Amino acid sequence: MGKLDGRVVIITGAARGQGEQEARLFRAEGAAVVVADVLDDQGESLAKEIGATYVHLDVGEEADWQAAVAAAKETYGRLDGLVNNAGILRFNTLADTPLDEFMQVVRVNQVGCFLGIKSVATELADGGTIVNTASYTGLTGMAAVGAYAATKHAVLGLTRVAALELADRGIRVNAMCPGAIDTAMSNPAQLDPNADAAEMTEALDGLYRKLVPLGRIGRPEEVARLALFLTCADSSYITGQPFVIDGGWLAGVSVV
Ligand code: NAD
């Protein structure tokens, strides 16, 4: 028995990183999964490997959302869940951030989450779930990621409002707030095919040893387990909440 037997879930940005691990875990727990991304080759190959369906979905495009939801329903006959995972990060101080760059981040992280909720709201079966991927920076500030932090704060607002609006159908909406997680986003060197992944993770663990109480960077598989908890019946009485998964980073500062 899997924790998601019989459920149909769309996961955005699922071609790699946290979304990929969510797709793998959800399949292993019995869900039918729609892998959605703009990285078509990677997404298609993952979907083939795990027995999922791939759809090209740019989360900022409403027509892509309609097509993705239609594909999920045509292929599997129903829709029970959405993980809004797709996101982008840009580094700049606010003073140096061009408006175009700010809007690009808003389009993917904030508009993408809004369109996801809007597109599935009437299509989800009663008792369905939405898990939005916010961030540690959805709850606190971090210099040089102003556009990103603004959108992740917005994701928490969308999460709370959606939870209130969809509760009467038993649809639960929660958010994950990861700290630093070992994916291409926090470690772009991962995209280099010649790079040694284990070596890079070790180097990152070294960097985060001092910053994070648990002394290492998080793993995408750990975030996937939180997404599973929020999508399955184990979290049946939880809605509208942000869940921090950050190795204790947000707990406070230590002077010893
Ligand atoms: P990642 O860069 O490996 O994955 C992001 C995925 O989103 C990629 O597959 C990418 O192709 C996809 N994507 C980007 N723009 C898209 C668009 N317009 N439409 C559809 N898909 C698109 O990074 P990740 O760490 O796996 O990121 C997953 C989520 O976790 C993001 O929302 C990110 O903001 C959040 N997050 C990451 C960290 C971290 O340290 N890695 C920390 C906190 C929150």
The one-letter amino acid code at 47 reads: A
At 106-134, the pLDDT tens digits run: 999 999 999 999 999 999 999 999 999 99
Ligand 1: centre distance to CA 23 (Å): 14
Catalytic residue chosen out of the listed positions 54, 76, 148, 208? 148
List the domains of the chain with CATH numbers: 8-181+219-246 (3.40.50.720), 182-217 (no CATH)
pLDDT band at 16 (very low <50, low <70, confident <90, very high): very high
Provide the H-helix boundaries in the chain: 17-28, 40-50, 62-76, 99-105, 112-121, 146-166, 197-211, 220-231
At 181-236, the pLDDT tens digits run: 999 999 998 999 899 888 888 988 998 998 999 999 999 999 999 999 999 999 99
Ligand 1 proximal residues by C-beta, below 6 Å: 12-13, 15-19, 37-39, 57-60, 85-88, 108, 133, 135-136, 178, 180-181, 183-186
| 80 contacts 129 by C-beta, under 8 angstroms | yes
Ligand 1: centre distance to CA 168 (Å): 31
Residue 197 has what pLDDT?
Answer: 84
Whole-prediction pTM: 0.99
Residue 142 has what pLDDT?
Answer: 97
148 included as an active-site residue: yes
Residue 198 has what pLDDT?
Answer: 86
Residue of minimum CA distance from atom 44 in ligand 1:
135
What is the pLDDT averaged over residues 55-82? 98
Rounded CA-CA distance 155/191 in Å is: 27
At 148-192, the pLDDT tens digits run: 999 999 999 999 999 999 999 999 999 999 999 999 999 998 999
